[in-house]
Amino acid sequence: MRCFLLALLALSLQAEVLLQESAFRPHPFGWTTWSQRPETKPRAFVDTSVGREKPGSLAINGASNAAAYGGWRKQIQNVKPGEWLRFQASYKAESVSAENWQIVARLDWQTADGKRAGDPDYMPWTRRAGAWSDLSGEAQAPANAASVYLELYLANAPQGTVWWDNIVLERIPPPAARKVNVATINLRPRNSAGPAESVARFLATVEKSVPAGTDVILLPEGITVVGTTKGYTEVGESIPGPTTKSLGEVAKARKAYIVAGIYEREGQTVYNTAVLIDRSGAVAGKYRKVYLPREEVERGLTPGTHFPVFETDFGKVGLMICYDVFFAEPARALANQGADMILMPIWGGDETLAKARAIENGVFLVTSGYDHPTYVMDPFGERLSQAREEGTAAAATIDLAKRYRWQWLGEMRTRRLKELRMDVAVPQPGLLR
C-alpha cells in the first residue's frame, strides 16, 4: 500500500495544470451553457453567494422541467492524442434524488474539425466533504482528439439544483501498471477425516502448484466440509480460528493474500463465510454469503446482510460465494464501491451468469470451484487462465490499471456507474397487482 500511495503522490507532483477555476463571477470566461434542444434547457447561472471555499459557483436548476438536461461546458484546446488527463470538481446538490446519474461531469473529446472523438469519459468517483462532494476521474485522450469539452450537467431533476466549483483539469503521466499475480486452486478432497485434513490438502496443493511471487491465492467454497461426512453446522468455527490460523501461516510464508470459504460460528449462528487473509497472515476481512440457496437454509445456515469491499496493497477486492452468482446485486454492489477484482469461492454455478457478472460490471472475476470451472476472467469475460485438472492452479498476471473499452460504448466500468438507475423502484418480488 505504501508503494501505491507513493506512486499517487509522484503522479500528483508531475501533473501539469491546464485549468483551475473557482469563486466564479458573472459571465465566466470561456464557459457556455448547453442543452440538446431548447425544450430541455435547464436554468444555468452563476450564483455569487454559494461556493466551496469562497462565494461564486456555476449553478444549474431543473426549472421544474422533468426533461431538463444540460448545463455548463468549456472547451480546452491543444489536447494531445493519447495523453492522460485528470478532471476534478466539487459540487453541492439540493433536491436531487439520484446523484450518480443526475449529476454529470465528463470529458467530451473533439477532433480538429469539431466532431466527437471516441466516446465521452465520465468522472465516476465521489467523496463526501460535508455539504459538498468532490468528484474526480482520469481518462486517456483518443488517438484523434485535438480538444475536449469539460461538461458539468444536471439531468432530469426538475426540482433539483447543483452548484459546481473548484474545477481542475490536469495533464498527468500515464497511470502506472498495477500488475497482480493471481492463482486459483482446482481441488476437491475426498474421504477426508475432517476439516483439518481437508484444509491440509488444499494447502499442500498451494505449495505444489502456486508459483512463487503470487499476490492472491483463491481456494473454493466450504474447504472445511468438502470431502468429509460432516454437516455445515458441525464444522462451524470462530474467525479467527483454527482454519484462519492454518491459512495465515501459508499466507505469511508466501507473503500472499489468501481467500477461502469456510463456515463461521458466532454464538448460535452459523454463516457460509469467505475470509481474506493478508500477507502477514492476519484476517483482513470476511464476507458472509448473502444469497443462501434453500438447501443451505434447511441445513441451519443464516444469510449475511451486506457486501463489503476490502483495501489491499494493490487495489480493492470484493468477495462473492457460489449462489451469489445467480443474482445481479452482489457483483453490482462490489463494483459500485470500486472493487477492481471479485474473488469467488464456488461449489457449482452457471458459467454464463458468471461471465455476465464480469462483463456487466467491468471487473476481473476469479473463481475456485468443484462443479464450476476454476479460472481467472478479464472484464470482457475472457478466461485468461483455467485449471482443468484437479490438483492444479490457474495462474495469471493481470493489470488492474488497464482500461477495457467497448468499440461502440466506450469504457463501460465507469459509464455504467453514471447511468445505473438505482432510483427507479423495483416491485417487491412475487407481489401481484
pTM of the model: 0.93
The CA angle 359-219-325, to the nearest 5 degrees, is 35
C-alpha cell at 247: 491459512
Res. 10: pLDDT tops 60: no
Which residues lie below 8 Å from residue 60, measured CB to CB, with a gap of 6+?
Answer: 42, 43, 44, 70, 71, 72, 152, 153, 154, 161, 162, 164
Structure confidence at residue 3 (pLDDT)? 45
Residue 327, pLDDT score: 97
pLDDT tens digit sequence for 81-121: 999 999 999 999 999 999 999 999 999 999 999 999 999 99
Query: Where do the DSSP E strands lie in 354-415?
Result: 364-369, 374-377, 383-387, 392-399, 405-406, 410-411
Distance, CA of 315 to CA of 292 (rounded, Å)? 28
Identity at 271, one-letter amino acid code: Y
User: Interior CA angle at 349 toward 344 and 351, to 5°?
Assistant: 90
Average pLDDT value for residue range 350-366: 97
In the chain, where does the domain assigned CATH 2.60.120.260 lie? 11-172
Q: For 382-406, write each residue's pLDDT tens digit.
A: 999 999 999 999 999 999 999 999 9
Rounded to whole angstroms, the Cα distance separating 410 from 117 reads 11
Whether 238 has a pLDDT exceeding 50, the answer reads: yes
Q: What percent of the chain has pLDDT over 90?
A: 94
Confidence bin at 4 (pLDDT 50/70/90)? very low
- The answer to whether the CB of 302 falls within 8 A of the CB of 268 is no
Q: Where in the chain is the domain with CATH 3.60.110.10?
A: 179-400
314-343 pLDDT tens trace: 999 999 999 999 999 999 999 999 999 999
Please give the distance of CA 285 from its chain centroid, rounded to a whole number.
Answer: 17
Domain 11-172: which topology? Jelly Rolls (2.60.120)
Which run of H or of E encompasses 209?
helix 195-209
pLDDT, residue 92, reads: 98
Residue 194's pLDDT band (cuts 50, 70, 90): very high
- Band the pLDDT of 13: cuts 50, 70, 90: low
pLDDT at 34: 96
CATH of domain 179-400: 3.60.110.10
